[in-house]
Amino acid sequence: MSEVSLHKVVKRYDEVEAVRGIDLNIADQEFVVLVGPSGCGKSTTLRMIAGLEEITDGAIKIGGDVVNDVPPKDRDIAMVFQNYALYPHMTVAENMSFGLRLKRFPKDEIARRVDEAARILNIKDLLARKPRQLSGGQRQRVAMGRAIVRNPKVFLFDEPLSNLDAKLRVQMRTEIKRVHQKVPVTTVYVTHDQIEAMTLADRVVVMNNGVIEQVGPPNELYHTPATRFVAGFIGSPAMNFIPCTLDEAGGGGLAVRLPDGTTLSVPADRSARYKSHAGKSLIFGIRPEHLTEQRPARDGEALAAMSATPDVVEPMGMETLVYFSLGDDEVCARFNPSANPQVGAVTAMSADMANMHLIDPNTDKVL
Ligand code: ADP
């Protein structure tokens, strides 16, 4: 079993506290992605798991054993970086087998493992080539192959796709997911790209400012973010945040009042949850996909009518992004292209209040 667990892990560089006491338990075979903006501490966390950085305080366990003082080479981990660090003078097969040859594995065992990894990664035809004869995506596969042949307890990926162009990134993302399904080794993967995090992870760990904001499966973070930071970080285009007042409406109901005076009824099943905040100034959070052209409700939706005057319209093919101003804020909606929204024309819209969020501006917590 190769669980990885972090217990109150701290990393301090002089006066900078890069990681501020994080707790995280990663199950055997789980694929966990650490995501967050630049400088939030995700690479430092990964490097501490790898043993490339000493930890200032706390404990890290791999497979149940505390590894705080175990050097990287004895942690039974394999790391894949963004610069693949392949040896230019060696063939693909030699690059993949290098670590095993150093450890004096028997020749036939090395051949078997390289062959198996090449099959999984679909690079059997490339084994005799040198790195310079490979495309970026092929080099990335070889770097993964080199990790797979070692049969480690844990894979660590540090932004492995950031050197690839946009199209290749998407292909390799799918490839990494496919490889993990075939070789389900416990994986910790670092990226700043929330889409990469959502698509790859069993569980996403959102970091900010050296702490973990929230941990959960991708859809849980998307639908029930715990903080304003997570709500704004997960999802693209990002969630809209609009200052509002929570009004008492007739019959014990509640309504969100926006800066332009529009009121949107809060679904009855949220009343109990929000009741104690009635009368307060809050932040209304709603994703662009829950603000659309006016339309009939589908199952589970609670549509409220509003109107807006688009100032920018961006056709994307499968949808059209519509931007409009509300008070001091720019708001984004996602329309069906057939609604044909026009700049400058007052446009009827639907807000799906079954997917609304309310945020306390004092704590930044989602209520
Ligand atoms: P991320 O990977 O999320 O971009 P890092 O883990 O690389 O962030 O860095 C977290 C914080 O620690 C940043 O403020 C960074 O400047 C600081 N930091 C990282 N490495 C060092 C170092 N070797 N010396 C001093 N500060 C560092």
Residue 41 CB less than 6 A away from ligand 1: yes
DSSP 38-91: TTSSHHHHHHHHHTSS--SEEEEEETTEE-TTS-GGGS-EEEE-SS----TTS-
Residue 43 CB less than 6 A away from ligand 1: yes
Query: Ligand 1 centre and the CA of 18: distance in Å?
Result: 6
Query: Ligand 1 centre and the CA of 229: distance in Å?
Result: 20
Point out the ligand 1 atom lying closest to the alpha carbon of residue 46: 6
DSSP 8-state code for residue 1? -
Residue 42 CB less than 6 A away from ligand 1: yes
CA-nearest residue for atom 12, ligand 1, is 18
CA-nearest residue for atom 11, ligand 1, is 18
d(CA 113, CA 124): 12
Global pTM?
0.92
Alpha helix positions (H), the chain: 42-50, 92-102, 107-121, 136-149, 166-182, 194-200, 218-223, 228-233, 271-274
- Cis peptide before 237, with omega less than 30 degrees from 0? yes
Residue 44 CB less than 6 A away from ligand 1: yes
Q: To test the ligand 1 pocket, which listed residue (9, 11, 12, 16) has its Cβ within 8 A of the most ligand atoms? A: 16
Q: To test the ligand 1 pocket, which listed residue (10, 19, 44) has its Cβ within 8 A of the most ligand atoms? A: 44
What would the two tokens of residue 134 be?
């490979």
d(CA 35, CA 17): 18
Query: Ligand 1 centre and the CA of 17: distance in Å?
Result: 9
Residue 191 CB less than 6 A away from ligand 1: no
DSSP 8-state code for residue 300? T
Point out the ligand 1 atom lying closest to the alpha carbon of residue 207: 3
Going residue by residue through the chain (367 aa), what tens digit of pLDDT does each one get?
799 999 999 999 998 999 999 999 999 999 999 999 999 999 999 999 999 999 999 999 999 999 999 999 899 999 887 766 889 999 999 999 999 999 899 999 999 999 999 988 889 999 999 999 998 888 888 998 998 898 899 999 999 888 788 888 888 899 899 989 988 999 999 999 999 999 999 999 999 999 999 999 999 999 999 999 999 999 999 999 999 999 998 888 999 999 999 999 999 999 999 999 999 999 999 999 999 999 999 999 999 999 999 999 999 999 999 999 998 999 999 999 999 999 999 999 999 999 999 999 999 999 9
